[in-house]
């Protein structure tokens, strides 16, 4: 419920509306039935306003008992209708309204009392419910009779005797009405009314709410009618009191069908009796006596019917119980047998699960002792004897019986002495097969024995303790390893066995056992002699199958193993550094990271002041990395390049392949080498050669030096043999990692080269334009060679000069605006003339080239390479490379530069060939088109009547084909086909083609051959093959009546279908010598009329849209 909800607002949901409509319908039907019965009862007034038969109140009472006291106010309405409209009582209106309220209150209170306090069952299934109904009806009728007669006596009722008779008459009429209508409605009608009110009544007709009528119903009805005829229709028989015979069918129904039959019979007989009195005009003075008889019969029938109903229900309950018992016995997993005093089998239960496998009842008559195993027979006889001594006693037994297949089966059973029970008279044995359980128990027992042997002979300590640590059990090995006896250990706590350092952690162990149920680890035990031993344990908590949780513990003495491990750990501490270094080097992503890891690990593990790595490149040592970067405000000169010849001692270390330590006091070291080794502030320096062994060539074995420097004095921090061994191991790992990374970078670089070449190849093969190929090539030159700028000059053989073509990486347009160069002029001209690579390490040194000096002012290039572009022995141009710093490229770099130059020459050569090919192809195409146009013009000159026709239909056909989705390539063939559509007429003689008169049939046959002539003329011409559709098929018709092939529908090429419509349109709109051209509207209507016969409907629709 939200705060915005208004509690005073009525909301009529669809569900509440339907409930209200159903309830209103029920009340309307009730008022109609009440009024109808009320008008019928008025015909039987004994006194004014006093009737001896009044069923309307029975309807009211049934309504209240079934649906509740909330309907009581409607009784006021029906009372007013009865008083004012039916009986037309002329008394004060207050008295009439009060009477209605009284009836509503009396019946409402009675119904509420029966429903809520008595818990009355409206279906009248018990004698109690019927008696409460009869008693409450009698009381309510008496109250209403006394109040009605005493308060407002009928006219003519003066004496006390008359009032008493009137009260009795009222009471009888009210009682009969209640007992006739109320039971019938409660049992047979009100359940349906309640379902209708709740919206659960099935109105589909699939369920019949009324039970089928008994076969003898008609006979009983006829019997009743005969009795009524004799009682009221034959006056001479009135003295015989034949009316009493109506009790026969009523009792008959009650005995056969219980309360349901009694309720139907009472209502039917009551209405039949009233009908007979009215039909035979009997004296109404007899009506009171008749109704008194009906009252007695109604009470008797209801009581008899409910008794019979309870009897039927009891019988059905017994039947159900018997079925349930039989089902339990038949599906029981146990066998039930009755055995006599001597062991004779008297009965076997019909269970489907037969433990012994014998056929049903095959053992009856035999002795159960004959089935017993010989070893169990004496014990079974003794058991039976003890059971027989005491009636009602029970004994459990476990014995073996012989199965039907001859095997022995273990049976667990209970023997009960019921010999004194008259209905049994035997001993009852319930037993079931427990053979599998016995086998499992034996297997488990054997397993327990094996487990106990393992525990007792184990050399591990095995014990149990509770969650407080109290020892519950130990194996024999505990005495041997701890020195205590088993009895002593069982009186101790686990904490008592722990050394002081482990006792501090014991509470954590217990907490883990309580919360996690397991724990493992190491603890220190103190034996009885005080010796400390290290134990490894793995314990778990057991909670299933025990009354209290128990910890199962297993521990092993690992003291010797632990001590040996510490020794191994001490010996392997040196290798740990190497392992960590190896892992770091394996995870390194580049050479710089590898060198940094080596330096850092060397400083941290050998405890030196700094570490540097110098790699050998050519004839120079290059300081590639150092850690830390500065030491005592001294720079470690990362990036410094020192020629090898200036470092003789370093060369000797590389040659001897052994670590060497140099002291600052060593005077043999020259000043340049001393400065390179930083011996100006370091007290000692250890040089470790970085070399590769194995199958590596000697030229590639030397990689460089690992330099370890110590700023502290030799006495304080010397290079011990252990440090030198570790340093040498670090150097070996470093050499392997450096070599691996150098090879990886070389491989990666070559892979990038291959990828770049592939991308250049794709650019050359996918585009014949020189600019795209050159753009891709120059991009790769800059990216792969790591240069700042590059350009291409193309050689023009006609003028014998180099012309600037394309460039990348330039800051200005100075080089782009350079004038053409003659061969031998400038650096590019030299490369072209000499056909070799020109390398200038320092462009600023070329002071003899003023134009270059001016360009370098804005570009500041230092290094230059010029490579001639040669393809098939011919010079194609020059590739230039510029860099703004000095470069010392290696062999791979130069090889790749020349490879890129070869690709550039190939691209230029391909582009030149392609340009020549395009030019030739264009000229050839122009020649083809001119030929086709010439043929078309020749046809127009031959046939003056169609002059200009070819050009018009060609343009219109191309327009229409374009609208219908033809591609540009297809439109070329459509245009050629339209121009040549009548080329076949060249094979038609002039006498036929130019004949002014009508052609004969034979001449028409020749004329119709012109599409075939066109096909035969054009088919050998390959490039005109796709254009044959129109010349060959433009006279075909949609319905298949065309020529020359008689094609139909979509079998006709679409281009021919399009041209057919355009051809007819142009022919009809054009003037001829023998007729004037048709108006456009007439031609379009004509074409529209031929849609689906001559022309393709879709083509016609597109054609009309194009023209309109």
Contact partners, residue 935, CB within 8 Å, separation at least 6: 979, 980, 983
| pLDDT, greater one: 472 or 9 | 472
Strand partners, 417: 427
Q: How many CB atoms lie within 10 A of CB 296?
A: 11
Confidence at residue 1096, expressed as pLDDT on a 0 to 100 scale: 94
Quick one: pLDDT band at residue 228, thresholds 50, 70, 90? low
| pLDDT, greater one: 1106 or 911 | 1106
Check: CB of residue 134 under 8 Å from CB of residue 14.
Answer: no
Q: Are both 1091 and 1065 inside the same structural domain?
A: yes
Q: Per-residue pLDDT for 222 more than 70? A: no
Q: Are both 364 and 294 inside the same structural domain?
A: no
Confidence at residue 1037, expressed as pLDDT on a 0 to 100 scale: 93
Q: How far apart are CA 726 and CA 604, in angstroms?
A: 12
Q: Per-residue pLDDT for 962 more than 90? A: yes
Confidence at residue 237, expressed as pLDDT on a 0 to 100 scale: 46
The number of folded domains in the chain is 7
Q: Per-residue pLDDT for 212 more than 50? A: yes
Quick one: pLDDT band at residue 1098, thresholds 50, 70, 90? very high
Q: How many CB atoms lie within 10 A of CB 739?
A: 17
Domain end position, chosen among 201, 228, 263:
201
Confidence at residue 696, expressed as pLDDT on a 0 to 100 scale: 55
Q: Are both 585 and 674 inside the same structural domain?
A: yes
Q: Per-residue pLDDT for 12 more than 50? A: no
Q: Per-residue pLDDT for 604 more than 60? A: yes
Confidence at residue 866, expressed as pLDDT on a 0 to 100 scale: 92
Domain end position, chosen among 500, 525, 557:
557
Whether 211 is in a domain gets the answer no
CATH number at residue 495: 3.30.450.20
Quick one: pLDDT band at residue 946, thresholds 50, 70, 90? low
Q: How many CB atoms lie within 10 A of CB 974?
A: 24
Could you tell me the end-to-end alpha-carbon distance of the chain, in angstroms, rounded to an integer? Answer: 69
Whether 938 is in a domain gets the answer no
The helix-helix angle for 949-963 and 1054-1069 (nearest 10°) equals 130
| Domain range enclosing 292 | 216-330
Q: Per-residue pLDDT for 670 more than 50? A: yes
Distance of CA 1062 to the CA centre of its chain: 60
Sheet of 641-643, strand order: 641-643, 620-627, 610-617, 702-710, 684-691, 660-663
Q: Report helix, strand and coil shares of the chain as percent, to nearest 5.
A: 55, 15, 25
| pLDDT, greater one: 941 or 992 | 992
Mean pLDDT for all residues in the chain? 81
Encode pLDDT of 463-475 as tens digits: 899 989 999 888 8
- Closest C-alpha among 636, 640, 820 to residue 711: 636
Q: Are both 903 and 954 inside the same structural domain?
A: no
**CA torsion, ordered 555, 557, 562, 564, to nearest 10 deg:** -140
Confidence at residue 666, expressed as pLDDT on a 0 to 100 scale: 85
Confidence at residue 689, expressed as pLDDT on a 0 to 100 scale: 92
Whether 848 is in a domain gets the answer yes
Share of the chain above pLDDT 70, in %: 85
CATH number at residue 1040: 1.10.3210.10
Q: Are both 789 and 886 inside the same structural domain?
A: yes
**Radius of gyration from C-alpha coordinates of the chain:** 63
**Length in residues, the chain:** 1108
Domain end position, chosen among 498, 528, 557:
557
**Of 45-49, 92-96, 305-309, 906-910, the least confident:** 45-49
Whether 176 is in a domain gets the answer yes
- Closest C-alpha among 621, 624, 620 to residue 612: 624
| pLDDT, greater one: 245 or 423 | 423
Span 393-412, average pLDDT: 87
* Most confident range, picked from 448-462, 563-577, 645-659: 645-659
Q: How far apart are CA 1060 and CA 957, in angstroms?
A: 9
Q: How far apart are CA 172 and CA 154, in angstroms?
A: 17
Whether 567 is in a domain gets the answer no
Q: Tokens standing for 775?
A: 């753009």
Distance of CA 775 to the CA centre of its chain: 51
Q: Are both 259 and 323 inside the same structural domain?
A: yes
Q: How far apart are CA 552 and CA 541, in angstroms?
A: 6
What DSSP string runs through 223-262?
Answer: HHHHHHIIIII-GGGGGGTGGGGGHHHHHHHHHHHHHHHH
Whether 754 is in a domain gets the answer no
Quick one: pLDDT band at residue 754, thresholds 50, 70, 90? confident
Task: Write the CA distances from 8 to 1, 5, 272, integer angstroms.
Answer: 14, 9, 54
Q: Are both 262 and 141 inside the same structural domain?
A: no
Confidence at residue 295, expressed as pLDDT on a 0 to 100 scale: 83
Span 1058-1081, average pLDDT: 86
Q: How many CB atoms lie within 10 A of CB 189?
A: 17
Confidence at residue 4, expressed as pLDDT on a 0 to 100 scale: 34
Q: Per-residue pLDDT for 821 more than 90? A: no
Q: How far apart are CA 481 and CA 498, in angstroms?
A: 14
* Most confident range, picked from 228-232, 479-483, 755-759: 479-483
Whether 511 is in a domain gets the answer yes
Q: Are both 549 and 612 inside the same structural domain?
A: no
**Strand duo 532-542 + 518-526: pairing:** antiparallel
Q: Per-residue pLDDT for 1049 more than 60? A: yes
Confidence at residue 240, expressed as pLDDT on a 0 to 100 scale: 42
Q: Are both 546 and 687 inside the same structural domain?
A: no
**Of 60-64, 281-285, 550-554, the least confident:** 281-285
Q: How far apart are CA 559 and CA 578, in angstroms?
A: 29
Whether 566 is in a domain gets the answer no
Q: Are both 832 and 967 inside the same structural domain?
A: no
State the pTM of this model: 0.38
Q: Is 577 helix (H, G, I), strand (E, B) or coil?
A: helix
Q: Are both 112 and 261 inside the same structural domain?
A: no
Q: Are both 155 and 242 inside the same structural domain?
A: no
CATH number at residue 630: 3.30.450.40
């Amino acid at each position: 419920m939200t705060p915005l909800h208004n509690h005073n607002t009525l909301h009529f949901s669809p569900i509440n509306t339907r409930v209200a409509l159903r309830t209103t319908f029920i009340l309307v039907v009730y008022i109609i039935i009440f009024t109808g019965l009320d008008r019928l009862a008025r015909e039987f007034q004994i006194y004014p306003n006093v009737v001896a038969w009044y069923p309307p109140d029975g309807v009211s009472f049934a309504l209240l008992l079934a649906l509740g006291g909330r309907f009581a106010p409607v009784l006021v309405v029906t009372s007013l209708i009865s008083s004012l409209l039916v009986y037309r009582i002329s008394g004060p209106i207050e008295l009439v309204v009060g009477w209605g309220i009284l009836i509503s209150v009396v019946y409402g209170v009675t119904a509420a009392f029966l429903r809520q306090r008595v818990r009355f069952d409206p279906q009248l299934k018990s004698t109690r419910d019927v008696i409460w109904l009869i008693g409450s009806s009698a009381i309510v009728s008496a109250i209403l009779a006394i109040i009605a007669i005493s308060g407002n006596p009928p006219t003519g009722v003066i004496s006390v005797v008359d009032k008493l008779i009137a009260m009795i008459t009222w009471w009888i009429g009210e009682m009969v009405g209640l007992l006739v209508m109320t039971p019938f409605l409660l049992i047979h009608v009100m359940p349906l009314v309640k379902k209708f009110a709740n919206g659960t009544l099935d109105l589909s007709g699939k369920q019949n709410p009324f039970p089928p009528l008994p076969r003898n119903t008609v006979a009983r009805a006829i019997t009743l009618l005969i009795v009524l005829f004799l009682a009221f229709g034959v006056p001479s028989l009135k003295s015989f009191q034949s009316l009493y015979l109506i009790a026969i069918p009523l009792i008959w129904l009650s005995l056969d069908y219980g309360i349901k039959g009694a309720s139907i019979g009472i209502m039917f007989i009551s209405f039949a009796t009233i009908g007979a009195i009215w039909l035979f005009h009997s004296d109404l003075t007899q009506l009171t006596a008749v109704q008194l008889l009906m009252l007695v019969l109604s009470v008797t029938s209801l009581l008899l019917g409910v008794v019979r109903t309870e009897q039927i229900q009891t019988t059905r309950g017994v039947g159900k119980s018997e079925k349930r018992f039989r089902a339990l016995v038949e599906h029981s997993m146990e066998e039930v047998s009755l055995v006599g005093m001597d062991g004779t089998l008297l009965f076997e239960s019909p269970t489907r699960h037969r433990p012994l496998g014998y056929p049903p009842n095959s053992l009856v008559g035999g002795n159960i002792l004959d089935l017993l195993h010989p070893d169990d027979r004496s014990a079974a006889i003794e058991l039976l004897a003890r059971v027989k001594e005491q009636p009602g006693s029970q004994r459990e037994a476990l014995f073996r019986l012989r199965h039907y297949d001859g095997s022995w089966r273990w049976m667990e059973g209970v023997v009960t002495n019921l010999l004194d029970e008259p209905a049994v008279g035997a001993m009852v044995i319930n037993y079931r097969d427990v053979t599998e359980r016995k086998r499992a128990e034996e297997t488990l027992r054997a397993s327990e024995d094996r487990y106990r042997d393992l525990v007792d002979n184990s050399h591990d300590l095995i014990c149990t303790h509770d969650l407080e640590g109290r020892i519950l059990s130990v194996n024999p090995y505990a005495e041997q390893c701890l020195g205590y006896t088993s009895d002593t250990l069982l009186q101790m706590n686990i904490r008592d066995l722990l050394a002081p350092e482990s006792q501090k952690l014991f509470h954590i162990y217990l907490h883990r056992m309580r919360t996690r149920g397991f724990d493992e680890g190491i603890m220190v035990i103190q034996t009885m002699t005080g010796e400390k031993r290290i134990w490894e344990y793995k314990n778990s908590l057991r909670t299933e199958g025990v009354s209290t949780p128990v910890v199962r513990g297993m521990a092993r003495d690992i003291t010797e193993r632990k001590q040996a491990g510490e020794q191994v750990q001490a010996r392997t501490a040196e290798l740990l550094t190497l392992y960590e270094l190896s892992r770091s080097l394996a995870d390194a992503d580049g050479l710089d990271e590898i060198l940094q890891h080596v330096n850092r690990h060397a400083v941290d593990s050998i405890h030196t002041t700094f570490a540097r790595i110098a790699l050998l490149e050519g004839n120079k040592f290059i300081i590639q990395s150092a850690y830390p970067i500065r030491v005592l405000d001294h720079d470690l000169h990362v990036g410094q390049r020192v020629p090898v010849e200036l470092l003789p001692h370093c060369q000797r270390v590389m040659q001897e392949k052994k670590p060497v330590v140099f002291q600052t006091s060593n005077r043999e070291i020259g000043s340049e080498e001393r400065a390179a080794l930083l011996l100006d502030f370091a007290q000692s320096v250890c040089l470790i050669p970085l070399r590769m062994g194995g199958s590596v060539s000697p030229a590639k074995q030397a990689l460089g030096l690992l330099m370890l420097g110590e700023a502290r004095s030799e006495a304080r921090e010397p290079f011990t043999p252990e440090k030198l061994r570790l340093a040498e191991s670090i150097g070996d790992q470093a050499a392997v990692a450096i070599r691996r990374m150098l090879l990886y970078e070389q491989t990666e670089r070559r892979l990038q080269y291959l990828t770049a070449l592939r991308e250049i190849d794709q650019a050359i093969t996918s585009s014949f334009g020189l600019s795209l190929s050159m753009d891709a090539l120059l991009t790769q030159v800059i990216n792969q060679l790591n240069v700042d700028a590059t350009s291409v000059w193309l050689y023009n053989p006609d003028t014998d000069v180099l012309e600037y073509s394309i460039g990348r990486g330039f800051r200005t347009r100075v080089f782009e605006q350079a004038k053409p160069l003659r061969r031998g002029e400038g650096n590019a001209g030299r490369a072209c003339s000499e056909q070799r690579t020109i390398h200038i390490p320092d462009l600023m040194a070329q002071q003899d080239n003023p134009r270059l000096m001016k360009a370098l002012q804005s570009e500041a290039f230092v290094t230059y390479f010029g490579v001639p572009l040669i393809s098939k022995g011919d010079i194609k141009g020059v590739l230039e490379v510029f860099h703004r710093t000095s470069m010392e490229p290696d062999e791979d770099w130069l090889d790749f530069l020349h490879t890129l130059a070869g690709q550039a020459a190939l691209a230029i050569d391909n582009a030149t060939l392609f340009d020549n090919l395009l030019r030739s192809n264009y000229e050839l195409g122009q020649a083809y088109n001119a030929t086709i146009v010439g043929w078309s013009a020749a046809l127009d000159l031959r046939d003056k009547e169609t002059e200009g026709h070819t050009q018009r239909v060609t343009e219109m056909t191309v327009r229409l084909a374009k609208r219908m989705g033809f591609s540009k390539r297809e439109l070329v063939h459509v245009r050629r086909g339209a121009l040549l559509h009548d080329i076949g007429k060249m094979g038609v003689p002039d006498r036929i083609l130019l004949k002014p008169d009508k052609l004969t049939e034979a001449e028409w046959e020749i004329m119709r051959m012109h599409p075939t002539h066109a096909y035969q003329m054009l088919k050998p011409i390959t490039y005109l093959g796709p254009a044959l559709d129109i010349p060959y098929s433009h006279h075909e018709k949609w319905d298949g009546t065309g020529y020359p092939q008689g094609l139909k529908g979509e079998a006709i090429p679409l281009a021919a279908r399009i041209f057919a419509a355009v051809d007819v349109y142009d022919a009809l709109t054009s003037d001829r010598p023998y007729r004037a051209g048709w108006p456009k509207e007439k031609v379009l209507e004509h074409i529209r009329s031929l849609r689906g016969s001559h022309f393709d409907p879709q083509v016609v629709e597109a054609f009309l849209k194009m023209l309109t």
